Amino acid sequence: MRVFKFGGASVKDADGVKNVAKVLQEVGHENTLVVVSAMGKTTNAMEAVVDAYFNDKIEIANSVQEVVNYHNTILSQLFPNDKHPIFKKVKALFDEVQGFLAWNKSPNYNFVYDQVVGYGELVSTSIISEYLNEIGLKNNWLDVRELIKTDDSYRDTTVDWDKTQNNVSSIINRTILNITQGFLGSDNNNFTTTLGREGSDYTAAILAYCLNASSVTIWKDVPGVLNADPRYFEETQLLNNISYREAIELAFYGASVIHPKTLQPLQGKEIPLHVKSFINPKNAGTTVGKGIGIEPEVPCFIVKKNQVLMKLSSLDFSFIVEDSISELFKMFHEYKMKVDLIQNSAISFSVCVDNKFGRLEELLNNLKSRFKVTCQEDVSLYTIRHFNSKAIESLLNGHEVLLEQRGKETVQFVIK
């Protein structure tokens, strides 16, 4: 069985949904499980609903209605008959969102986030499943929350692999086309959980692992994995083949094409991962699998924007050693800071972090009671894998370097 994953960009409008159908018709759809993200920027829009719930309740109705209107436009273009059952189904899903916001008593932001934001995927897959049925691509819609079980660490959960394996084995019919959601799971109380932002790739890998799938294909608006993000770099090159190890390294440093958690379960069962273009589905794209390094062997550039660089030193000029570093990492974990780079000397410790959960101010207040802290926000972290002097020169090009770190294969720069 194959697993396909289509992201939000591939289903951002009615033409995108029609193109998904075209891809399935071109490459085959039998014995296939399709994982789909929320449409377009719906996740951002649903996050705005959650923000309104906590900060401006007057805006909740307007925030929800914007998402409803967006999907209704797509519905009307896909289903000319406005009496089609899908209209009622989608309305019922949005009614559930508003119902939850009306009766919820939990002050836990992350819990509320997961219960609300996940409706983007439930709506998108409902629309796509119905459209495929309408044009003759018969399929089975699955609620992924009945498949993937997790703990209750909302917004960044850990998968319960044994329960998930049992569910997948007993629920999924491998002989037909199945449609399900990315990003979502559920805890033991059947509350919705999410696997982390951009977690739909990880969903595909989890399900592929449990299905012993023959392959996973991630369909993107680029021809495959490039050696740099074309939004930030010119003259990018397609990487034809990447080893699991190299892909994990690239993902770890922030390459956006592949979600960092995606590769581990695939490597465990040597399931090949294909990254292909939904615009040109017959093109080869990139294959991640067994092997060494990358082909062709070229420098790979990765950029992470909106990072935070902190320099910490002890208040009494004592050494920053194991106990201090252990204390710091405990705090980074507590405040959900993703550490992207560290560098330390005898009395100072520099760290570049991703403040994705917005808890920097809390962390700084805690740190300042124990350390002297300088902090620079809105910096960029650039990484070059398989660097050479020409690659470094082209990257820096007059930029102010705040921190540099070199290894045998990788160099990193924090740049203002």
Tell me the C-alpha to C-alpha distance, in Å, between residue 259 and each of 139, 205, 262, 268: 27, 10, 5, 16
Instruction: Please indicate if the annotation marks 121 as binding a ligand.
Output: yes
Residue 294 lies inside a defined structural domain of this protein: no
| Structural domain of 398 | 300-415
Element (H, E) at 2: strand 2-6
Residue 249 reports pLDDT greater than 80: yes
* Residue 329, annotated as binding a ligand: no
Is 155 a domain residue? Answer: yes
Closest CA to 259 of 185, 183, 339, 198: 198
Contacts of 375 (CB under 8 A, 6+ apart): 308, 309, 310, 311, 360, 364
Q: For residue 408, give every residue at least 6 positions away whose Cβ sits within 8 Å of its Cβ, in sequence order, or none.
A: none
- The strand pairing partners of 99, in sequence order, are none
Q: What is the pLDDT of residues 317-361, one digit of tens each?
A: 666 777 778 888 999 999 989 999 999 887 788 999 999 889 999
Q: How far is CA 176 from CA 9, 33, 147, 210, 319, in A?
A: 25, 8, 17, 17, 62
Token pair recorded at residue 297: 């062997």
- Residues 394, 398, 401, CA angle at the centre, nearest 5°? 95
Q: Is 413 annotated as a binding residue?
A: no
Residue 201 lies in a domain: yes
Residues 188 and 316 in one domain: no
**Quick check: is 198 in a domain?**
yes
The predicted pLDDT at position 398 comes to 81
66 in a structural domain: yes
Q: How confident is the model over 33-75, as pLDDT tens digits?
A: 999 999 999 999 999 999 999 999 999 999 999 999 999 999 9
From 166, 194, 213, give the residue that closes a domain.
Answer: 213
218 within a domain of the structure (yes/no): no
The last residue of a domain, from among 213, 238, 259: 213
Q: Are residues 184 and 332 in the same domain?
A: no
Q: What percent of the chain has pLDDT over 70?
A: 98
End-to-end CA distance of the chain: 47
Does the pLDDT at position 392 exceed 90? Answer: yes
Residue 156 binned pLDDT confidence (cut-offs 50, 70, 90):
confident
Do the Cβ atoms of 171 and 142 come closer than 8 Å? yes
Residues 189 and 310 reside in one and the same domain = no
Tell me the pLDDT tens digit for each residue of 74-106. 999 999 999 999 999 999 999 999 999 999 999
Write the CA distances from 161 to 13, 62, 145, 210, 339, integer angstroms.
Answer: 34, 39, 14, 8, 26
Give yes or no: residues 310 and 181 share one domain: no
CB-based contacts of 389, cutoff 8 Å, min separation 6: none
CATH number, domain of 132, equals: 3.40.1160.10
Contact by Cβ (8 Å): 200, 182? yes
Q: Please indicate, yes or no, whether residues 307 and 207 belong to a single structural domain of this protein.
A: no
Encoding tokens for residue 237? 């090159």
The CATH number of residue 333's host domain is: 3.30.2130.10
Query: 223 and 238 in contact (C-beta within 8 Å)?
Result: yes
Q: Is residue 397 part of a domain?
A: yes
Position 401 pLDDT exceeds 80: yes
pLDDT tens column, 114-143: 999 999 999 999 999 999 999 999 999 999
Task: Please count the structural domains in the chain.
Answer: 2
6 in a known ligand binding site? yes
Domain finish residue from 195, 213, 231:
213
Q: Binding site annotation covers 120?
A: no
Q: What pLDDT shows up at residue 341? A: 93
367-388 pLDDT per residue, tens: 988 888 999 999 999 999 999 9
pLDDT at residue 317 in the model: 67
